[in-house]
Each structure stands twice: as structure tokens, then as C-alpha cells.
Structure 1
Amino acid sequence: MRHKNSLELYQYWTSKCAGRPAPSRTDIEPGDIRTLLPHIFICELVDEDQLTFRLAGTGLCSLYGRELKSCRFGEMWLDSGMRNANRTGVAVASGATPAVLSLDALSHSGRVLHAEMLLLPVLGPTGAHDRLIGLTSVFEPPYWIGHDPLAGFSTTGIRFLEQTKQSLFLGNRPEINLPRPGGDVPRAPAMPAKRKIGHLTVLDGGRTD
């Protein structure tokens, strides 16, 4: 985790687990995390393979310029990433394994911002693993948030967290890097060294025999 908001919510969530794989939704007191509420969302597993928003904070909704309640979780991503994003969310909600996602976000006018998303499982009213609480934190929030809605997220890395093996910086599992849309930009080849001899320019390299 790189954002302080992610660490704060994770520590609070851990304190509510009380030895269980995940706390109950009723264990989460909004007043305890009031400063994080604008960036927090809760999703419900409505089918075996589909998550929908039960609620979403004003900070997250302002990124998209619309209310996200009742929308599908995967709709926050660009088309190419919807399926994998939904699968990750379903895995967290149903498998009780927290995850941290590194994100790039593209606005409708082509602007880009960088963010981090924390996904934490919580138990529903029946005690089933069917919900998650999440937090989206933007690094260096730009001035245009709220004026230029996002077209969607692109996941650039995923890290699943093992609660029983947490190190000081929660780095027990390496982040899985994912390719950005369009692939990596190729680097230009290195130019050979050159030197002047009289009126000639000599490039190092070539045959050595």
C-alpha cells in the first residue's frame, strides 16, 4: 500500500476482524472512519459472478460525474479491463482475501490520474462472504476532478494480502504488474560513441579484427 488512506482503512478493518477472516458489515461504524467516507464504497455479490454497488462515497462519484449506487463494479473500468476487475472484486468478496490495485484513470478529455484501490471482504447479514468494502485514493488529486469525468480505470498492478503474514509495510506478496493499454513504449536504441579525427567523425563499434 502506498496511500495513507489505504493503510488507515486496512488497520481499522483488521481491528474489526477479531480473529475471523473478515468482519461483519455491522461491525463497521461509519463514525470511526468519517474522514475516509467520501472515498469508500460497498459492493454486494448479487450473483456468483457479479458485484454491484450498494453505496458509493461522494468523492468516488465525483470522479465519474454520476451516482454509482446500483451500478456494476466493473463499470468503473475501461472496456478492456472490466472482466478482470469484476473477477478480482468477486474473488475478494467471496474468498475473504484483501487486495490492493494500482490504477491509471483516463478522463473523457484524455487526462490521466493515478490512484490506488483497496478491496476488503465483509460478511453480509446471513454471515456469508458476499460483500466488500473498498476505498479509492487518488495520488496528487488534479484540479479537474468534478469537471472532467473519468471514462474508466485501467489496472496496472494487483497485490493480494495474506492477513497472517503481514510485514511492517504489507509487502509480503509482490505486486503483479499488468500491461497498460497500448503496450509499453519502446526505447530508442543507444547511439554509439563518436569522436573527431581531423575533419572526420569516427563512430565506435563495428569490426574489431
Structure 2
Amino acid sequence: MQHDGASELFAYWNDLRGTRAAPERREISPALIRSRLSDTFILRATGASESRFRLAGTRICSIYGRELKGQTFTSIWQAKDKSVIARIISSSLTTKTVVQSTYEGKSSRGRKMLFNLILLPLANEVNERHLLGMITAAGKPFWLESDAIIENSLRSISMVDPLQSAVVPVNHPLQEDHRLVVANRLLPAPNGSRRVRHLMVFDGGKMPD
């Protein structure tokens, strides 16, 4: 795992879950991840509804220039990535797999910045499912948090079953035709995807320029 913040959160989550597929939400102690709270968030999906931000750290809200609580997770992504993001979230919630991604954020003034994302599933509750996540910028440009990011575009993404491996695999890039290639270890291919050797390909169709 390439980013220290994501490594710390993954290690904390991994210790909590022990031999289980995922820890319970009530086990998450904000005091133990205090230094990273501003970069963390929790997504909640109720029934078959779309995942929404249940909580979002202050730095994340500042980066996007708005309060994200109650907003759908797909609302921060460009149109052509929304369906892939929704399928990745659904797969993570169902199979309890870890998701790691690199994406590009575009600001209201056209500036661009790379970000790292990690999503860690939590145990199911009655009619609710949750993901613990973290978003961190790959750098510290002077304009970040003053020029709001208005949309994200995927650059790479990977998934792993933590029961098979405690290490999130190296990300694979998006192909030119905008199909998403996902590294995985011993994972079933989610709906809307197909297996190509050790990879899963999410078909989104070629997008016009």
C-alpha cells in the first residue's frame, strides 16, 4: 500500500477484524485514529439504496467545498465513472473486499490533483451496510481547500479479499477505451464485469472524446 495514511487505516481495520471478514462499526474508535479523522469518512447503504456519506472528515469537505454528509458517493465522480463506482461499492459491501484507488480531481478553476482512496468494509447491520474510507491528496498545492474539487475521474483501482491476503495489490491503470481493469486475488467477478486471467474488467463502453 503506497500511502502512509491508507496503510495506517488499513492496519487499524485489519487488527480490529481479526479472523473475521470485517469489523463492526461500533468497534471503530475515533480516538485511536484521531490524527486521520479529517481525512476519513463512512458510507452507508440502506437496503438496496445507493451509498451515501454518513460522516465526512473536515478536510475532505473542505477539499470539495461543501458538506458531504447525506450526499451520494457517486455525486463526486464524473458521469462516465459513476456506474463503475457504484458497482465497485456494491461488490465491496457484498463480498467484504478492500478497495484502493488513485483518481484525479478537477477543481472549479480547472486545476488538477491526484488523490488516493481506500474503502474498508464493515460488518452488516440490520438493513444497513457501511464502508470506512479515507481520501488523501498526493501533494499539497497552495490552492487545495480554497479552489474546490468539483469532480473526480478514476485513474486506477484494485480490490483484494483480506482473508486471502493482508496486502492490497498494486493498482492497474484504466485502459484507453475506458474499461476498468481491476487487480484481484481469488475474488468472484461482480455483475457487469468479466475475468481476464488474474484481472477483472468492468465494461463501461468507449466514451466519445
TM norm. shorter chain > 0.5: yes
Residue 17 (structure 1) aligned with residue 13 (structure 2): no
Counterpart of 1:158 in structure 2 is 157
How far is the alpha carbon of 1:181 from its aligned partner? 9.6
1:36 counterpart SS class: helix
**Does the CA-based 8 Å contact 2:21-2:163 persist in structure 1?**
no
Q: What TM-score results when the alignment is normalised by the length of structure 2? A: 0.79
Q: Where do 1:134-173 residues align within 5 Å? A: 134-166=133-165, 170=167, 173=169
- Matches of 2:95 and 2:161, distance apart in 1: 12
Cα deviation per residue 1:15-50 (whole Å; 9 max; x = unaligned)?
A: 000211000000110000001100101011124251
Q: Which has the larger radius of gyration?
A: 1
Q: Shift in Å at residue 143 of structure 1?
A: 1.2
Q: Counterpart of 1:155 in 2: which secondary structure?
A: strand
Is the 2:63–2:145 contact (alpha carbons within 8 Å) kept by the matching residues of 1?
yes
The letter of the residue matching 1:111 is R
The 8 Å contact of residues 46 and 128 in structure 2, kept in 1 or not, is answered as: no
Unaligned 5+ segments in structure 2 are 179-209
Superposed CA deviations along residues 148-172 of structure 1, whole A, max 9, x for unmatched, are: 11111111111112213436xx25x
1:178 aligned to 174, 180, 193, which one?
174
Question: CA-to-partner distance for each residue in 1:106-160, whole Å, 9 max, x for gaps?
Answer: 111111101110000012443x771100000111121111211111111111111
Question: Is residue 101–residue 118 contact of structure 1 (8 Å, CA) maintained in 2?
Answer: yes
Q: What is the alpha-carbon distance in structure 2 between the residues aligned to residue 180 and residue 77 of structure 1?
A: 18
Show the counterpart of 2:2.
Answer: 2
Identity of aligned residues (%): 28
Q: Which amino acid aligns with 2:112?
A: V
Q: Secondary structure at the match of 1:136?
A: strand
Normalising by structure 1, report the TM-score: 0.79
The question of whether the paired residues in 2 share the 8 Å contact of 1:104 and 1:153 is answered with yes
C-alpha distance in 2 between matches for 1:129 and 1:137? 26
Aligned residues: 178
1:180 Cα deviation after fit: 7.2
Instruction: Decide whether the 8 Å contact of 1:99 with 1:118 is kept in 2.
Output: yes
Aligned positions of 1:56-205 closer than 5 A: 56-126=56-126, 130-166=129-165, 170=167, 173-179=169-175
CA drift at 1:89: 1.6
Q: Which amino acid aligns with 1:175?
A: N
CA distance in 2, matches of 1:180, 1:147: 32
Indicate the SS of the match to 1:132: strand
- In the alignment, is the contact (CA less than 8 A) between 1:122 and 1:129 conserved in 2? no
